[in-house]
Amino acid sequence: MRVPLLDLKLQYTPLKPAILAAIEQVADSQTLVLGPQVEALEKAVAAYTGAGHAIGVSSGTDAQLVLLMALGIGPGDAVITTPYTFFATAGCLERLGARIVFADIDPATYNLSVPALKAALEQTKNVKAIIPVHLFGCCADMESICALAARYNVPVLEDAAQALGCAHPMGAAGAIAEAGWYSFYPTKNLGAFGDAGMVTCRDAALAAKIRSLRNHGMEPRYYHHSVGGNFRLDAIQAAVLNVKLPHLDHWGAGRRARAAYYKKAFVQTGLDSVLGLPHEPWADSGLENHHIYNQFVIRTPQRDALRTFLSEAQIGTEIYYPLPLHLQECFKHLGYKAGDFPEAEQAALESLALPIFPELEEAQQAYVVEKLREFPHP
């Protein structure tokens, strides 16, 4: 049996007629950049998340970049974030010359550790933002993070690239704090047909500035009040996302059901005693979308050997992420070293993502569990 990490064709097939019709509508209109489809998506995402404003842009990375630009974050400004995340979280800060300050993660959730954040705030001057990452589709401890931020009068910017559709007792991921962003990269729970992203924020003036900056700071046409970039969202991508968005909660429920299958099977077979399982901190909150499982991540000291074993059994896996950001070559100048963030470093050595997507069949999951049992755990 073959079990892919993700199979986008299974999601696409039933939506194919509607998606192709939406793309044809854009093609016939020849309004190919921004326009009605983008405006409709912005309104839909704002309504879905409860965000005050939503601004469509060219990617999740550009969403973060344009937000930071709009906030004026640059050289000398410190921003605290996690070293265990996708590169863009820190990469955008580096591009603007901001001072990257890392704080370690909570080993249970892989999200920003509140005690580590508190220590970083106490030790760092001129902090202009805190960026928690809602990793793998689970919200960070936003109540504690926002309380700390308020004490230090620092805005919180949510990296919700992997978490559109995830709910927290304080609100929807990406729409809890002052501002946030989403990625619609094809492998996300809500994926476009290429790159696309969205910024959310509370403040109307900030939203207006982001809209200007995504189009070279141009308003009106050919008059530039500031230097922005080409961060515009293509209409075709918005059209595809408009078709998909109404299905997002159903897909999230499917992912949670498959996560529940794994967890139950692991307990029944004793695998829970040798594998670290995903944590669901908001499971008792009464919120259906407390976790959307963009990834289902287990932990084991034998991660690399297990991955090879599963690959030989034609089971797809992935490592998110094999080297924490503070140890990346391009961030050597920050002065961090191995051992500075032990929880992030340990997660990078032990974490492994298993197949999880709404169309994953029970027989496929049973096969994954069977092979996990066959692996010679110590």
**Would you state the pLDDT for residue 377?**
87
The pTM (predicted TM-score) of the whole model is 0.94
The alpha helices in the chain, defined as continuous H runs, are: 8-29, 36-49, 60-70, 88-95, 114-123, 142-152, 204-213, 235-244, 248-269, 303-312, 342-350, 362-374
In this predicted structure, the answer to whether residue 115 has a pLDDT above a threshold of 90 is yes
pLDDT for the residue numbered 207: 97
Residue 220, pLDDT score: 85
**What pLDDT, in 10s, does the model give residues 276-332?**
999 999 888 889 899 999 999 999 999 999 999 999 999 999 999 999 999 999 999
Question: Would the pLDDT of 170 be above 90?
Answer: yes
For 327, the token pair is 């140890």
In order of start, what are the domains of the chain with their CATH numbers?
Answer: 8-245 (3.40.640.10), 247-374 (3.90.1150.10)
